A and B are shown apart, each in its own frame.
Chain A
Amino acid sequence: MFLKRQPHTMTMTAFPRLDLRKPVLLALFLLLAAAFVASLAAGSVSIPIDNVVRVLTGGHADKDTWRTIVLTFRLPKALTALLAGAALGIAGLQMQTLFRNPLADPFVLGISSGASLGVALMVLGTAAASAAVFGRIARFGDVGLVTAASLGAAAVFALIMMIARRVHSVVTLLVLGLMIGYATSAAVSLLIYFSAPEQIAAFTAWSFGSFGGVTWQQMRVFFPVCVVALAGSLAFSKSLNALMLGENYARSMGLNVRVARWWVTASASVLAGAVTAFCGPIGFIGVAVPHLCRALFRTSDHRILMPAVMLTGAILAIVFDLIAQMPGAGFTLPLNVVASFVGAPLIVWIIVRRGSFGLV
């Protein structure tokens, strides 16, 4: 293995490989494909895998209703889970590296609350008419929704970044992030307090988190926003590697820190904002997936972590959604319940197994 790569150097020490570990990434990709198809097959009505594959490839299922179920309900839901999982994982990874903090993620630092506030301001704040939340959202347009959520997320993110420049203690920053999260949540609560009951009900349902609320119509916004932001984030893998050593070192190695920080912040805000807008605030994926990938790949190299986090985040989100549906039980659990029940022990396991977090 090593000999193949270093025929030119007569080294006394073998140096480790720094390549991209494509086989494991390929395995993850296949796992994602399997989880994706499984999520189309499972549910209150189970549909045979071969029928699912036939529908996906443009053919017909044994029953017409199966085709409708797959194309109208399950496919947008699975696609939403895939995009949301990848997006939350990447946003978490970007923030953990940017803040050099292993616990940073959109949820913990209040970015999701900021996005909620953006949505709440738009949905509840203009409470002249008493239309239900999602009727209202449709009227404002999905672009407006993503914009509101992203602006809310970016506002909180900018605030945290400003504080982070002055406060260098990781713990202080985390506590401040939590406080900002509480404050924005309180603002949301205040808005709810002065809103009509049906708006509150719809808003509460939204805050449970769900991948099922995105229609094909909304997918026209959600899909391109996520794909562009995810693809854009890949361009900053190298910058994140340098930022891992802190801003002073990054600058000394030739990174334009301000530009890099701006783009990474923007990308994380848009990703967290878009997911929160369409799926509600979803916890744990953002903080857990980067740690899972570091442990799995035994690396902190963002050139490996970026694709790994996208794939793992997508897989986890689909699996969480599968569990939430409780196939055969006839009811659906809120997504955040599943994410917390599965995610919390996962994080505990990672911490205990590693003895410490190390850092990002």
Chain B
Amino acid sequence: MSSAPALTTHDLAIGYGPLRQRRELSRGLNLTLAQGQLVCLLGPNGAGKSTLLRTLAGAHAPLSGEIRINGVDMRSLSVQALARHLALVLTDRVDAGHLNAYGLAALGRFPYTDWSGKLSGQDEQITQAAMRAAHCDGLAHQIVSQLSDGERQRVMIARALAQQTPLILLDEPTAFLDLPRRIEIMQLLRALAHEQGKAILLSTHDLELALRYADRLWLMPNDGVLAEGAPVQLRTSGQLLHTFAGEGAAVTTYLSELLS
């Protein structure tokens, strides 16, 4: 584990432009994501959670400012180099046909194999360890298209682990899952952060689960002013209520009851 935080941003502005009409979603972001931390990114739809996640993942260019991955400026990293620092779990539908779960998880070794993609014994061992850590080694033989949503999400997390990156970003990993599966995934991610020292950032709509499992919360309200802190802090400071203030009276009432 390096001493530098897994991810830092300096005066980061995110949004779209300048080709299309410039639309700034948030600015002045000075964020830190430390090793061994599980951070949940919360906020109403349209506030820019996905854009922030995509920007931090290097899939979308920032409007201005700097992103450092393990102390290195992201702009100086090639696609190949970045893949050894940062792994992604997306909401994109994965339909890998006849691939079995083991083969899918083993794709995480992509940045480490040669041009032919041949897996060494070590690559296979790392993949197997990743599947055990994500509690999906029992699914190894199953065809990906026959997995349930929750099972497939575990395998995709195993694939991200097999990529052996200090940093993992997940876009709404609990969407489409039923409550027991959502709890399991959150528990798994917290364990990976705390036991393996991974820095994990996930966006989610699961407020209650985020409050319970996250080490830190990043709140992204519609006004673009991001609030950051421990769940306890943000509960009491009123920031949570503020973040979802535009979502209507029913939501505000629900949140007040939840937080009291």
Contacts and interface: CB of A to CB of B under 8 A. Distances in A.
Contacts of A100: 95
Interface residues of B, number: 47
Interface string A290-315: 00001101111101000000000000
A303 B117 contact: yes
A254 B109 CA distance: 10
B125 A8 contact: yes
B98 interface: yes
A82 interface: no
B59 interface: yes
B92 A249 contact: yes
Interface in B116-131: 116-119, 121, 124-125, 128, 131
A195 interface: no
Interface string A240-275: 011011101101111110000000000000000000
A162 interface: no
Contact of B107 (A9, A237, A253, A298): A253
Contacts of B97: 102, 244, 294, 300, 358-360
A318 to B, nearest CB: 26
B44 interface: no
Nearest to A17: B102
Contacts of B110: 238, 241-242, 253-255
Contacts of A12: 137
B99 interface: yes
B116 A238 contact: yes
Contacts of B86: 252
B111 interface: yes
Interface in B50-102: 57, 59, 79-84, 86-88, 90, 92-100, 102
A244 B95 CA distance: 8
A298 B83 contact: no
B145 interface: yes
Q: How many A residues touch the partner, as a band? A: 35 or more
A248 B79 CA distance: 12
A13 interface: yes
Interface string B208-251: 00000000000000000000000000000000000000000000
A8 B121 contact: yes
Given A242-B107, A254-B79, A254-B110, A237 B117 contact: yes
Interface in A11-25: 11-16, 18
B20 to A, nearest CB: 14
B43 interface: no
A238 B98 CA distance: 16
Nearest to B92: A246
Nearest to A294: B98
B179 to A, nearest CB: 27
Nearest to A236: B115
Contacts of B82: 254
B189 interface: no
Contacts of A254: 79-84, 110-111
B141 interface: yes
A235 interface: yes
Nearest to B57: A252
Contacts of A300: 96-99, 103
B80 A18 contact: no
B90 A253 contact: no
B103 to A, nearest CB: 6
A298 B59 contact: no
B138 interface: yes
Interface in A275-295: 294-295
B107 to A, nearest CB: 6
Nearest to A100: B95
A245 B128 contact: no
Contacts of A8: 121, 125
Contacts of B107: 241-242, 245, 253
B38 interface: no
Contacts of B93: 246
B230 to A, nearest CB: 29
B113 interface: yes
A253 B96 CA distance: 16
Contact of B138 (A13, A294, A295): A13
Given A254-B84, A255-B79, A16 B117 contact: no
Nearest to A242: B110
Contacts of A242: 107, 110
A259 B88 CA distance: 21
Given A253-B163, A254-B84, A301 B115 contact: no
A360 B144 CA distance: 12
A228 B51 CA distance: 42
Counting chain B CB atoms within 10 Å of each CB, which of A100, A251, A256, A295 scores highest? A251
29 contacts: A15-B102, A15-B131, A15-B137, A16-B100, A16-B102, A16-B103, A18-B102, A18-B103, A18-B106, A18-B124, A102-B97, A237-B116, A238-B110, A238-B113, A238-B115, A238-B117, A241-B117, A245-B107, A248-B59, A248-B90, A249-B94, A254-B82, A254-B83, A254-B110, A297-B98, A299-B103, A301-B103, A358-B98, A359-B95
Interface of A: 8-9, 11-16, 18, 100, 102, 235, 237-238, 241-242, 244-246, 248-249, 251-256, 294-295, 297-301, 303, 358-360
Closest 9 CB pairs of A and B: A254-B83, A238-B117, A359-B95, A252-B88, A254-B111, A253-B110, A358-B145, A254-B80, A300-B97
Given A100-B95, A244-B99, A245-B94, 6 more contacts: A15-B102, A16-B140, A18-B106, A242-B107, A252-B57, A359-B96
